[in-house]
Chain A
């Protein structure tokens, strides 16, 4: 495979693929590197109802497959590999992967984010054995069982609604006394007879030997600690940005998000960012797509300035 590229895009989610389409159409030799599966985390969602231009709900995997094909149509190469190091070298960028490296005149960094965990006892041990980060993938395992969704945002509500099609009971457990999810999703959750809400709860531990059996919770208002039996616990408490690889070349806030402006440039020449790595991104496919386009256009302007 070719080593030297005009542009390497790190991340094959909505931001990375949108950038790829524009880079390809600018006739730049473009490579997209994705460490997991092309499409990003959104492919694990059940449906998308708010992506502009589609009156009916769409299947995220279908949308992302179209984006991948659209990028490939303009000559972009998609490669499944994990970038382990990025550094400037000889006025360009070097990107190391597992057993080789690539160089690029410019990089669009759109590596997205990873699921946030509680980091409490039992969580890691029971991941995949009742503790889950994907309701769409795992809901059928919990048919007629009692499950919990931990979180209060859009993702948590979507997971609860999906799980209610399978589970006997779904408890949404949230650390506050109000939800921050879209009102339309809240409304559906409140009206669903299978879904109950537990407010002001702190997660203390996940309990069970070979599989999850209970969640230990603390009521933040009464300080009462209780252990409630659940077969499944679905984590939806946000994400952590994947910015470790570029931390030396960008400004990061206290939570690890890149601080930038509409230029989507960084303090390092030829390094652009897009998508969920950016501070203030509201985690919507449409926003990440727009950012990918913006980053690609600014990247193109930068490459032209070098010529």
Chain B
């Protein structure tokens, strides 16, 4: 089962160019919606281990990564493929909505 990994300003680039679609979950401990979305993201990571890597970025601790992608709202999910941002979801979403974007960016 694939797990959600925490990424930070120092190691973020190491996740960028993988073969799988990278979902980046920008979150903060003060964001209730972010917390409530976590089980859904875990479900996605577990359902598509061959296709998807899911990483979390705590925006409070990693301002460089947040700024790099101009993230100013939480929760924000970025969908990155071959090093390029292919799609973005802002606000609370459910696993079905994430799956729809995954199909689009494959």
Inter-chain CA distance A166–B90, complex, in Å, is 21
List 25 A–B pairs whose Cβ atoms lie within 8 Å, in order of A's numbering. A36-B33, A36-B92, A36-B93, A43-B36, A61-B32, A61-B36, A80-B40, A80-B94, A81-B94, A81-B96, A82-B94, A97-B96, A98-B96, A128-B73, A129-B71, A129-B73, A132-B72, A133-B73, A136-B32, A137-B73, A137-B74, A140-B60, A141-B72, A210-B70, A212-B72
Task: Kindly identify which residue among B28, B70, B75 contacts A140, using a CB–CB cutoff of 8 Å.
Answer: B28
- B47 at the A/B interface (Cβ < 8 Å)? no
Number of chain B residues whose Cβ lies closer than 8 Å to a Cβ of chain A: 31
Question: Which 8 A/B pairs are nearest by Cβ-Cβ distance?
Answer: A128-B90, A37-B36, A128-B73, A98-B96, A61-B32, A137-B74, A36-B92, A141-B72
> CB within 8 Å of B: which residues of A?
34-39, 43-44, 60-61, 80-82, 97-99, 127-130, 132-134, 136-138, 140-142, 210-212, 232
| A136 / chain B contacts, CB cutoff of 8 Å | 30-32
Do the beta carbons of B72 and A232 come within 8 Å of each other?
Answer: yes
Number of A-B contacts (CB under 8 A): 90
Inter-chain CA distance A39–B32, complex, in Å, is 10
Inter-chain CA distance A61–B74, complex, in Å, is 16
Given contact pairs A37-B36, A210-B70, enumerate 14 new A-B contacts (beta carbons under 8 Å): A36-B91, A37-B32, A38-B36, A82-B96, A127-B73, A128-B76, A129-B72, A129-B73, A134-B91, A137-B32, A137-B74, A138-B72, A140-B60, A141-B59
Of A35, A39, A81, A138, chain B has the most CB atoms within 10 Å of the CB of: A138
- B6 at the A/B interface (Cβ < 8 Å)? no
